[in-house]
Amino acid sequence: MACKPACLKAGRVGAVVIAPEEYDAAFMREALVLAASAAAAGEVPVGAVVVRDGEIVGRGWNAPITGHDPSAHAEIRALRDAAARLGNYRLPGCDLYVTLEPCIMCSGAIMHARLRRLVYGAADPKTGACGSLLNVFAEKRLNHHTEVAAGLLAAECGALLAGFFAARRSGRAA
């Protein structure tokens, strides 16, 4: 086998070894499916999954309105789901895939959870805390352990949000 063990691990989903870009995209597509279920409930469509060793261990979609919970962002709900499943409030070795750039609250939770990696889709110029509005991950005084990758399937993630807001505007206009 030409691939080194570390490389194989990075590209493994179940028993199938795939290219690293496609590995990430597969999980972002799962997050997109969850985002669509948020939209179906009338919530801003954002979805997130937590992945460990190529397996989804946490799922979340945005639900602050239906849950009467200002903290019920997709990322927070996915982190809670993963932490409960793994029996650990810290999630070392886990990666979070989310369709929209995390806000300040979610970025803080990601750091507290000690995630290995954050991968997000669309940038959020209004509340994005990973480089758009501000970048808390660039703050060296914060002791965090998380790598950040931006812009994966950004067009698909952004289109879902744009479609949702366009439908909401036209609904209001009618």
Smallest distance, Å, CB 9 to Zn ion?
29
Smallest distance, Å, CB 15 to Zn ion?
34
**Could you tell me how far CA 118 lies from the centroid of its own chain?**
7
| Burial category of 43 from C-beta neighbours within 10 Å (exposed 0-12, middle 13-18, buried 19 and up) | buried
Decide whether 17 or 105 has the Cβ nearer to Zn ion. 105
CB 136 within 8 A of CB 104: yes
Q: Which residues contact 118 (CB under 8 A, 6 or more apart)?
A: 95, 96, 98, 102, 110, 130, 137, 146, 147, 148, 149
Smallest distance, Å, CB 16 to Zn ion?
32
Question: The tokens of 173 are what?
Answer: 């206009």
Stretch that binds Zn ion, among 2-10, 35-43, 69-77, 149-157 (CB under 5 A): 69-77
Please give the residue whose beta carbon sits closest to Zn ion in the complex.
106
Active-site choice (75, 139, 147, 156)? 75
Smallest distance, Å, CB 129 to Zn ion?
8
| Per rule CB under 5 A, count of chain residues that contact Zn ion | 4
Whether 75 is catalytic is yes
Decide whether 94 or 110 has the Cβ nearer to Zn ion. 110
Out of 59, 73, 77, 144, the only residue in the binding site for Zn ion (CB under 5 A) is 73
Decide whether 54 or 121 has the Cβ nearer to Zn ion. 121
Question: The tokens of 14 are what?
Answer: 């179940």
CA–CA distance, 77 with 8 (Å, rounded to integer): 30
CB 50 within 8 A of CB 82: yes
Range 78-107, binding Zn ion (CB under 5 A) = 103, 105-106
Q: Which residues bind Zn ion (CB under 5 A)?
A: 73, 103, 105-106
Q: Which residues are the active-site residues?
A: 75
